[in-house]
């Protein structure tokens, strides 16, 4: 993890990241600021760390309506799996991103539509995770 902190996250970098003990996801760095790494986390999930994934393969699953979901905290093992989800913009501390053990797969241009959430965060001076 500390090697990543010495190296700077690359804007436009597409990384495979550790989700949990179940596998990996893909994150794209949208912007890098002093003390912040802004990422998009795609809905794609993998059991093995992917070596590459093209832009045409990545997707953001639509938000699921959880209004009727069983959110009983006393029996989490009985909750239905919400399925894949993605996050269009997630502002992170560099150490939080490093904890995901990112591995660079590609560098791409960040598209203007990918920056919508970041621009809202920037104007409102949002926090970091």
Burial classification of residue 109, based on how many CB atoms lie within 10 Å of its CB (0-12 exposed, 13-18 middle, 19 or more buried): exposed
Query: What is the number of alpha carbons within 13 Å of residue 118 lying toward its C-beta?
Result: 19
User: In which band, very low, low, confident or very high, does the pLDDT at 74 lie, cut at 50, 70 and 90?
Assistant: low
As a whole number, mean pLDDT of residues 79-89 equals 75
Q: Measure the CA–CA gap between 55 and 40, rounded to whole angstroms.
A: 13
Sign of the alpha-carbon torsion through 11, 15, 19, 25: positive
16 beta partners: 26, 103
CB atoms within 10 A of CB 93: 14
Query: Is the pLDDT confidence value at 83 over 70?
Result: no
Closest C-alpha among 22, 129, 31, 37 to residue 84: 22
The pLDDT value given to residue 111: 97
Render pLDDT for 36-55 as a digit per residue (tens, 0 to 9): 999 999 999 999 999 999 99
Task: Name the pTM for this structure.
Answer: 0.84
């Amino acid at each position: 993890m500390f090697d990543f902190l010495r190296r700077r996250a690359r804007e436009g970098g597409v990384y495979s990241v550790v989700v949990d003990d179940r596998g990996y996801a893909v994150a794209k760095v949208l912007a890098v600021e002093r003390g912040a790494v802004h990422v998009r986390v795609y809905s794609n999930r993998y059991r093995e760390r992917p070596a590459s994934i093209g832009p045409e393969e990545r997707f953001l699953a639509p938000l699921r309506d959880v209004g009727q979901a069983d959110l009983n905290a006393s029996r989490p093992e009985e909750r239905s799996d919400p399925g894949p989800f993605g996050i269009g913009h997630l502002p992170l501390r560099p150490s939080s991103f490093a904890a995901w053990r990112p591995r660079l797969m590609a560098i791409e241009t960040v598209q203007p539509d990918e920056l919508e959430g970041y621009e809202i965060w920037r104007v409102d001076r949002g926090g970091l995770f």
